[in-house]
A and B are shown apart, each in its own frame.
Chain A
């Protein structure tokens, strides 16, 4: 087991959902899927985004896509057109998740 960045083996995409963002993350084989299911708990993701996400985190699974989908509520400073933030749509939240270090 070595400590590696999630981005060294996983892919992600994010976008806005109301005043929050969604972060989809996926891998390319079953072993890595088990790994992200184990490592990417709601608590850990919420902690990772502590300075960005002010609301609740929800996790969904899509085993056919070897993917997890996270909803990060209240993470856009008001959302869509109301936000003053540079990343008002959460476009970069996927890459932010890929910065997480996990045991692999």
Chain B
């Protein structure tokens, strides 16, 4: 427990100390929110789908969370290159608890990032249903954060350096994001796109968030919750296994 706690604490400290990282990682969601939210708003309204900013915000929250989460996981590579990883790997604690501590820390940080995005989107007009829906949304944010931090950790355990990072952004994060129903409704799509969205775990995250905040879920909150929590568990186990095999 103390191992998990101290590794969690380390992630939190590193997060709130790097103000530039916090601000920098808010730039992209903010741009998406303003450009897409207000750019597509009128068309969305004309198509009879209601307020696009309302629809889009849960997607933007999810986006900021997965970027931050995968990056937190992949940070293992920094620790490897700056040597700190050795310090944890040679310590008399189980590697599973190291991995879990890191993952919980990364997930907490990513969730905070998501909360900041909610705050910003409220400044430009986003409104959620009730305080209860915010609490429910918090649960989904944590689940998304957990799943993708663990995924990042798994990937980071396999990589020696940052050369492959661009590959991960362009072939993993971007497709996951754009094919998740974050920026468009999942109803009435071409068959291929529907299939891709259905097998994309982030779809359930975005859907859960939307269901929680606005009460309009495509798959249903229970399905979203089950898929996310089941998958998180599996990916954490895979990540823990890969991390336990890391050699210096």
Partners in one complex: no
A residues near B (Cβ < 8 Å) are none
